[in-house]
């Protein structure tokens, strides 16, 4: 089973591009907030260990299905070894089935991402982003705290593409991904 890992900074468009990619491929979308939002709802705050355990259940059960593959979105802090290790561990699970792993890094200007932080689709799917002042502050804090854009040549994987989607519609980005990897 194949895996597409859509990575990028907050509000870069991972979920939206993933939604469009799901429409034109046989892949299913598992965006990060599908686990984050229910955990916040139940616990009143983000609880990383619970989110991680729920993700593991989804991966484990999904790998038992007949689907061609999964699109997984993740905000990867390139300056944190544990994020490298986590992505590697997820990839290895799919590779163990004989599948391919495709890495797609989306990048966009911060000003554009701050605008995208307010889109109807984002707010509909991510309740924790609906307090716009808090969400904007979190986006800016994450940008200053972590290195969320890879350096040139840093991503060592063969199946990798970097897309600047600052001025690109999600459908166009999805089509680029589909074509690049012949999905």
Helix, coil or strand: residue 8: strand
Q: What is the pLDDT of residue 130?
A: 77
Residues 6+ apart with CB under 8 A from 141: none
Q: Tokens 């982003």 correspond to what residue? A: 129
Report the C-alpha gap between 163 and 63 in whole angstroms: 28
Q: Which domain holds residue 147?
A: 2-180
Dihedral Cα 157, 77, 146, 154, nearest 10 deg = -10
Helix, coil or strand: residue 80: coil
68 neighbors 1 (Cβ within 8 angstroms): yes
Report the C-alpha gap between 71 and 173 in whole angstroms: 14
Residues of the chain with pLDDT under 70: none
Q: Give the count of domains, the chain.
A: 1
Order of strands across the sheet with 160-164? 27-30, 69-74, 2-8, 101-107, 160-164
Positive or negative, the Cα torsion across 160, 6, 57, 82? positive
DSSP category for residue 182: T
Q: What is the pLDDT of residue 32?
A: 86
Closest by CA position to 181, among listed 25, 19, 14 = 25
Q: What is the pLDDT of residue 174?
A: 98
Q: What is the pLDDT of residue 37?
A: 86
CATH number, domain at 142?
3.40.50.300
Q: What angle do CA 50, 53, 57 make, to 5 degrees?
A: 135
pTM above 0.75, yes or no: yes
């Amino acid at each position: 089973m194949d895996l597409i890992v859509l990575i990028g900074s907050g509000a870069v468009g991972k979920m939206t591009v993933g939604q469009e990619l799901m429409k034109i491929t046989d892949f299913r979308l598992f965006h990060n907030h599908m686990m984050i939002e229910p955990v916040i709802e139940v616990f009143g705050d983000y609880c990383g260990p619970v989110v991680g355990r729920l993700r593991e259940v989804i991966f484990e059960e999904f790998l038992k299905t007949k689907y061609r593959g999964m699109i997984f979105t993740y905000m990867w802090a390139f300056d944190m070894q544990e994020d490298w290790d986590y992505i590697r561990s997820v990839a290895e699970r799919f590779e163990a089935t004989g599948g391919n792993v495709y890495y797609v890094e989306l990048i966009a200007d911060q000003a554009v991402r701050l605008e995208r932080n307010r889109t109807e689709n984002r707010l509909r799917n991510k309740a924790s982003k609906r307090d716009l002042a808090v969400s904007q502050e979190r986006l800016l804090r994450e940008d200053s705290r972590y290195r969320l854009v890879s350096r040139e040549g840093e991503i060592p994987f063969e199946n990798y593409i970097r897309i600047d989607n600052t001025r690109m519609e999600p459908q166009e980005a999805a089509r680029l991904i589909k074509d690049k990897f012949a999905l």
